[in-house]
Structure 1
Amino acid sequence: MNKNNKKLTLIPLSLMVVTSVFMFPNVPRAFLLMGYAAIPWYILAAITYLIPFAFMVGEYGAAFKNEKGGIYSWLERIIGPKYAFISIFMWYVGWLVWIILTCNSIWVHFSTILFGTDTTSKWSLLRIGSTQTLGLLSIMFAILLTFIATKGLDKVSKITSVGGISVAFINIVAYIGAIVVFILKHGKIAQPINAQAFLNSPNPSYTSAISIISFISFAILAYAGIEVVAGVTDDTENSEKTFPKGVLMGSIFIGIGYSLGIFACGIFTNWQNVLSGKDVNMVNVTIIMMNNLGYQIGQGLSLSQAACVLVGNWVARLVALSMFLTYIGALISYSYSPLKQLIEGTPKKLWPGKLSEIKDGIPKNAMWIQCIFIVFFILILSLGGQGASKFFDKLVLMTNVATTLPYIFMSSAFAKFKNNTSIEKPFVIYKSYGSALLWTIIVTFTVVIANVTVVVKPALKGDIASSIWMIAGPVIFSIIAIAMYARYEKMSKTTIDNSVQK
């Protein structure tokens, strides 16, 4: 009876979906890329990806609730260990790229805490350029991060919890701030709104058909994290009815939240006046827009120019501090947790030497090897000779491609999972194989098209190097995964042959 009382009901489940997926920085990024035109794409991505994929992982989670290893365990049972290993390896690579990106972008928030604005494009150490300076700082930070993470998470748990509270603070400031500006400006909206605004982006980089379609990749990334609900299907009260309703309610709330957030950005931000500058990118856009929010509040209160700037800088400082604390905790956590799942979920013989050793609950040896990879890629990217803005954008694009590939693997395997009668399925949403196959095709097609357009877009504009960078990482790591598994198979065969001979 006590166990039943602790099971998730509809509202708590819906809230879990929202907190697992909704991230405010995705709102200003979407407004930067597409303006109000981002709203229809967020809604489309929710229908063709977020909701059906959440139902898929719900069935996966219920079927494999006793398995350890996450994605690897799911796919290993469905389509075999080799494909499962390549999939989880790519999933891990997505997190590795995210760490590289965040090690670099965190300096934007640090700069804002100190100066009230992003000054990273002007930073220079030892007379080297801004990109190289940020690369050097990021390398030192990555080494320090690994050192702290190998000591355990107990020392930073308080910072992580403070960061979580701070994220809620950002949302409150943005939405209430937009309402305040709307009232103070007597209903005047900074970014004009009409029917065309929902179809055409003010961003000149997102006017062609291929670039507009590529935006769905960003929408999918904004919905990343929905897979975490897979672990609670068994803990949901009357799961057959409650789980789909909870996921649907949470997904609708997320879609509406993102849409209203993008609209709120337009209340206090004029795209041409605030976001058209060459130093604005997907990393610092949140800080720039929140700075502008403070400035607009100051104007609405009829403060002096200097006072408006001061209010904007302090709002930006508070937001930067909250994001800085959040990312510190997240970086320490994600520098070990994806790697731990990769190593613990897969056969130990896959990992050479002492890489598979877990000490104090942490794969310490593997973490230092990971650190070497992080430093290597930061070094390569920072020596590319491009400006800080393009450097940031390239990393974000790489993250989108890398982190969405595992979703292709999971969604494409779903139809086969449904057709496998040897797998017990205690929780079913897709009642027939036909419906499962249909949504397998829709979800997989959505993510594939998103990735293809993201990769092709730069090449069509003559920037072939960016397209190569976006596919180089996944291709290289796929080859590494295949080689590692081939080595494991060879070792296993040798062990079996020796046993037979004895």
Structure 2
Amino acid sequence: MSDKKIRWFTVSMIAFSMVWGFGNVVNNYAQQGISVVVSWILIMLLYFIPYALIVGQLGSTFKNSSGGVSSWVKETTGKRKVAYYAAWTYWVVHITYLAQKPQSVLIALGWVFRGNGAVATNMSVQIVALISLVIFLLFLFLSTKGLTTLKVIGSVAGSGMLIMSILFIILAVAVPTMDPSFKMATPDMGNLKTYIPKFDLGYFATISMLVFAVGGAEKISPYVNAIDHPTKNFPKAMIFMATMIGISAVLGSVAMGMLFNSNNIPEDLMANGAYSAFQILGNHLGVGNFLMIVYGLAQTVVQSSALAFSIDAPLKILLSDADPEFVPQWLRKRNRKGTLVNGYLLTGILVSIIIILPIAGIKSMSILVQWLTNLNSIVMPMRYIWVFFAYMMLNLQIKKFHSEYKFIKNPKLGFAVGFWCFAFTILACILGMLPKINYAADPSSWLFQLISNIATPIILILLGTILPMIAKKEQQQLN
């Protein structure tokens, strides 16, 4: 084996750390309760494993492509405009993601310094929106100066968060043996029926959160050809990674069920659940708030780093090698330091609108967190659609391309699997648009969420159709 090759186990661990986080457990438990255990098993088998192996074949086929998904689309369709829309989608879905990060930082700091979730339960939406806007604009300004140190610290803290996620499962399972007074919060956890979901419209409206949780596998594509014997070992690495994620998801959800009653889930669980969980465990283990504070500090750094990185990296992917035919010169403009000034300005305007928007229709901070998390689960998976589209196009002309690793050798079956993932992602996004709150309890908030859930992804995508029109007019003036 060459010294340059990476062992399949190493690739599996890299992929696991890229895709997985404790927040995925908390958010999905908040929506489905203990029945999410079965949902995790189904999503792993029917969606995530094919998704990861599809990424493997695309990464292996286009190993020299630097543009990621947009390069795959360009190579498989031969159409630069379609590749532009793929690149635009990859960038624009980060707008809602960026809008949530300042709130996450604010909640984490509240737990660290106050020891409770008062930020997410007591602060008004207006104050939170204004503070979040200030935090975002500060990071936007700092991103133009470069934040290499924060990104490095963030990657270290990210590893710490992964350790904390695993530690949570171990501690939760161990608590009943260490503290005789501990009682399961969810009744009948030993009964199989407790874990069976009720497959109704309300259930299917939550699957976008599961898709959002297991998304991002395209980040592992650069490692496909770096692995030793990719044809044999890449599937092994991905299946092992999916198994680890599945075990973490199932055991993490069971642990959440031990601490929070699945039949009476707190309204603020998405905002405060992770911190409350570590606080409860710390109290049972006799270490007080220690675990919660460690988690809160790590979360503060990770969310800050994610905010900085997600302003900078997607923008560079969109604009660094942008096609002048579709992206106007003013958006590609750089200052003397090479900063994409108007790109940062556009990001600032769009994210600021999403941050301020809840003032018009959200009445509580906990509902705000739920709405923004759900909005992300609708918008972010739109970028995964292009992965499956590229894979479908690849299978239509499979003889044209060479790949060391093939997920499915039969192109018709490969196309069918790609179409399944493609259609499932779109369906999950559409169903996810249904508000998760009771209409009767708060009609105005329900209506606000429905309109914003439908309008936001449509507007973000339509914005991408305007740029080529401006670029065409610009080119005509230059000629």
TM-score by length of 2: 0.90
Q: Which moved more, 1:312-321 or 1:132-141?
A: 312-321
CA contact (8 A) 1:106 1:324 kept: yes
Provide the C-alpha distance between the structure 2 equivalents of 1:62 and 1:352, rounded to a whole number of angstroms.
Answer: 32
Provide the C-alpha distance between the structure 2 equivalents of 1:406 and 1:369, rounded to a whole number of angstroms.
Answer: 19
1:218 shift after superposition: 1.3
The structure 2 residue matched to 1:475, chosen from 429, 434, 458, is 458
* Change in CA separation of 1:262 and 1:121 when aligned onto 2, cut-off 3 Å: closer
Gap runs ≥5 in structure 1: 125-129, 201-206, 299-310
Secondary structure, aligned partner of 2:104: helix
Question: Which AA in structure 2 matches 1:469?
Answer: S
Question: Which AA in structure 1 matches 2:130?
Answer: L
CA contact (8 A) 1:218 1:400 kept: yes
Provide the C-alpha distance between the structure 1 equivalents of 2:121 and 2:243, rounded to a whole number of angstroms.
Answer: 42
CA contact (8 A) 1:211 1:453 kept: no
Question: Which AA in structure 1 matches 2:195?
Answer: F
Secondary structure, aligned partner of 2:158: helix
Asked if residue 150 in structure 1 is aligned to residue 144 in structure 2, the reply is yes
Aligned counterparts, 1:16-415, within 5 A: 16-79=14-77, 80-121=79-120, 130-186=124-180, 189-192=184-187, 193=189, 194-200=191-197, 209-271=200-262, 276-278=265-267, 280-298=268-286, 311-357=287-333, 362-415=339-392
Identity %: 22
CA contact (8 A) 1:412 1:440 kept: yes
Secondary structure, aligned partner of 1:486: helix
CA contact (8 A) 2:69 2:386 kept: no
Provide the C-alpha distance between the structure 2 equivalents of 1:430 and 1:489, rounded to a whole number of angstroms.
Answer: 41
The structure 1 residue matched to 2:448, chosen from 465, 473, 482, is 465
Gap runs ≥5 in structure 2: none
* Cα displacement string for residues 428-462 of structure 1 (whole angstroms, at most 9, x for unaligned residues): 22101121122112212321221222113559946
1:50 shift after superposition: 1.0
CA contact (8 A) 2:26 2:269 kept: no
Aligned counterparts, 1:8-19, within 5 A: 8-19=6-17
Question: Which AA in structure 2 matches 1:355?
Answer: L
1:297 shift after superposition: 3.1
1:48 shift after superposition: 1.8
Greater C-alpha radius of gyration:
1
Question: Which AA in structure 1 matches 2:272?
Answer: N
Partner of 2:405: 427
1:411 shift after superposition: 1.0
* Cα displacement string for residues 233-278 of structure 1 (whole angstroms, at most 9, x for unaligned residues): 1111111111111111111111111111111222333345xx6344
* Change in CA separation of 1:390 and 1:457 when aligned onto 2, cut-off 3 Å: closer
CA contact (8 A) 2:396 2:415 kept: no
Provide the C-alpha distance between the structure 1 equivalents of 2:65 and 2:186, rounded to a whole number of angstroms.
Answer: 50
Provide the C-alpha distance between the structure 2 equivalents of 1:338 and 1:284, rounded to a whole number of angstroms.
Answer: 29
Q: Which moved more, 1:25-34 or 1:162-171?
A: 162-171
Provide the C-alpha distance between the structure 2 equivalents of 1:470 and 1:134, rounded to a whole number of angstroms.
Answer: 20
* Change in CA separation of 1:86 and 1:116 when aligned onto 2, cut-off 3 Å: same
Secondary structure, aligned partner of 1:346: coil
TM-score by length of 1: 0.86
CA contact (8 A) 2:327 2:468 kept: no
CA contact (8 A) 1:117 1:316 kept: no
* Change in CA separation of 1:361 and 1:40 when aligned onto 2, cut-off 3 Å: farther
Secondary structure, aligned partner of 2:64: coil
* Change in CA separation of 1:240 and 1:494 when aligned onto 2, cut-off 3 Å: farther
CA contact (8 A) 2:215 2:384 kept: no
CA contact (8 A) 2:154 2:305 kept: yes
* Cα displacement string for residues 355-383 of structure 1 (whole angstroms, at most 9, x for unaligned residues): 31456565344113311222222122234
CA contact (8 A) 1:181 1:268 kept: no
* Cα displacement string for residues 459-501 of structure 1 (whole angstroms, at most 9, x for unaligned residues): 9946333122112111112211112123334555676xx5xxx
Q: Which moved more, 1:420-429 or 1:252-261?
A: 420-429
CA contact (8 A) 2:115 2:289 kept: yes
* Cα displacement string for residues 205-238 of structure 1 (whole angstroms, at most 9, x for unaligned residues): xx67112122221111111221112111111111
What count of residue pairs does the alignment treat as equivalent? 468
Question: Which AA in structure 2 matches 1:100?
Answer: A
Q: Which moved more, 1:55-64 or 1:460-469?
A: 460-469
Provide the C-alpha distance between the structure 1 equivalents of 2:394 and 2:30, rounded to a whole number of angstroms.
Answer: 39
Question: Which AA in structure 1 matches 2:258?
Answer: I
Partner of 1:442: 420
Provide the C-alpha distance between the structure 1 equivalents of 2:321 and 2:367, rounded to a whole number of angstroms.
Answer: 37
